């Protein structure tokens, strides 16, 4: 697979990976090996970053769009993320609240769909009649 795909699956920021990783092709076996026994460079990236935007968004509990609205368009380090978490700016507080509301609504709709499916199944006549 392409290095871009492998980096996404490993949840690391591709430009921060070693050149050999960026220029090579990663087989599925190599990807599994990296996931099961990460080398020092991968451990360092996962621990300290820079982290790709999906990882930053997850750690800040906002959407990727919310990061963009807040002006965060580049990768952040673990220290930068911690700084934002320790003293969240107004945009981050607003995005977290909005994101939490979206999650609650998604959960409510999923529950509603599950209940409707269960009711529809219960209303079906038994098989074999």
Q: Judge whether residue 127 has pLDDT over 90.
A: no
126 within some domain:
no
Query: 79 and 38 in one domain?
Result: no
The pLDDT of residue 126 is 75
Give the domain extent around 22: 1-48
Query: 72 and 97 in one domain?
Result: yes
Q: What is the pLDDT of residues 71-115, one digit of tens each?
A: 999 999 999 999 999 999 999 999 999 999 999 999 999 999 999
Q: Judge whether residue 17 has pLDDT over 70.
A: yes
The residue count for the chain: 129
Query: 38 and 10 in one domain?
Result: yes
Query: 76 and 21 in one domain?
Result: no
Query: 44 and 56 in one domain?
Result: no
Using a pLDDT cut of 70, give the percent of the chain over it.
98
Q: What's the chain look like in SS3?
A: CCHHHHHHHHCCCHHHCCHHHHHCCCCHHHHHHHHHCCCHHHHHHHHHCCECHHHHHHHHCCCHHHHHHCCCCCCECHHHHHHHHHCCCHHHHHHHHHHHHHHHHHHHHHHHHHHHHHHHHHHCCCCCC
The pLDDT of residue 26 is 87
Query: 38 and 69 in one domain?
Result: no
Query: 9 and 41 in one domain?
Result: yes
């Amino acid at each position: 697979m392409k290095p871009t795909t492998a980096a996404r699956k490993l949840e690391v920021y591709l430009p921060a990976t070693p050149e050999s990783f960026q220029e090579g092709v990663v087989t599925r076996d190599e990807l599994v090996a990296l996931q099961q026994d990460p080398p020092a460079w991968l451990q360092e990236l996962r621990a300290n970053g820079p982290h790709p935007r999906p990882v930053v968004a997850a750690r800040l509990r906002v959407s990727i769009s919310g990061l963009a609205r807040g002006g965060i368009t580049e990768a952040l380090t673990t220290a930068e993320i911690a700084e934002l978490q320790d003293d969240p700016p107004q945009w981050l507080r607003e995005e977290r609240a909005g994101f939490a509301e979206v999650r609650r609504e998604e959960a409510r709709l999923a529950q509603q769909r599950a209940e409707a499916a269960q009711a529809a199944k219960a209303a079906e006549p038994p098989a074999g009649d």
